[in-house]
Copies of this chain bind each other. A is one copy, B any other.
């Protein structure tokens, strides 16, 4: 069985209107740029997107928002996007805000086959509304459910033909978690190598979680907040 596809369009060919998609990345760091471009070209609509952020106006998930492809955004922070705000206020876009650690842990739960997890995040806040609260050892926790996403689309630094993935620095973020959580997981990598070239001790995402993989191209890797110090 061959997991390798030739490009993003092939990798996402069967994503239909109304699908639930996880997209890796934190801010613009480690986002699946090629697949986002392909989703925009394909014009698939009415998507539910699970991603920590929603990109900026002209990059990342922002490109999909411009084309009004997203019906619902499930994120922890969506602040950097004027078009997002416009659609939200006009009612075109629905947003569900989730604490960042809860978002990560609900991915983890899916990848580990755990139907629900307990976290104290959001206890006593509006996040707790409608959720079961449970006390363990004197502390309250919310029961949060594992995500159930049709697709996970992630970006790794290197990958091999078996689907094993290695991430670089903080571009790791949500990518390995979402890779585990998708019913179908698509990985785009900066460098695709033959099986056996990656050190098996250094794999971040074992290939069993990855269904399709391809070597991406033309990565822009835009920096959101360029901060430097004086030499």
A residues lining the B interface (CB < 8 Å): 105, 108, 112-119, 136-137, 139, 141, 166-169, 172, 200-202
The 5 closest A-B pairs by CB, nearest first: A115-B136, A202-B202, A114-B118, A115-B118, A114-B117
Q: How far is A139 from B115 in the complex, measured between Cα atoms in Å?
A: 10
- A200-B169 in contact (CB<8A): yes
- A166-B117 in contact (CB<8A): no
Q: How far is the CB of A189 from chain B (nearest CB, A)?
A: 14
Q: How far is A108 from B111 in the complex, measured between Cα atoms in Å?
A: 14
Q: How far is A213 from B213 in the complex, measured between Cα atoms in Å?
A: 39
- B201-A167 in contact (CB<8A): yes
The residues of B that contact A117 with a CB separation of less than 8 Å are 114, 117
Residue of B nearest to A166 (CB): B201
Q: How far is A137 from B110 in the complex, measured between Cα atoms in Å?
A: 13
The residues of B that contact A169 with a CB separation of less than 8 Å are 200-201
Q: How far is A76 from B215 in the complex, measured between Cα atoms in Å?
A: 42
Most B-side CB within 10 Å, residue of A105, A115, A119, A172:
A115
The residues of B that contact A115 with a CB separation of less than 8 Å are 118, 136-137, 139, 141
Q: Known contacts A201-B166, A201-B169: does B119 contact A136 (CB below 8 Å)? A: no
Q: How far is A117 from B136 in the complex, measured between Cα atoms in Å?
A: 12
Q: How far is A219 from B166 in the complex, measured between Cα atoms in Å?
A: 31
Q: How far is A48 from B141 in the complex, measured between Cα atoms in Å?
A: 28
Q: How far is the CB of A199 from chain B (nearest CB, A)?
A: 8
- A168-B114 in contact (CB<8A): no
Q: How far is A167 from B139 in the complex, measured between Cα atoms in Å?
A: 34
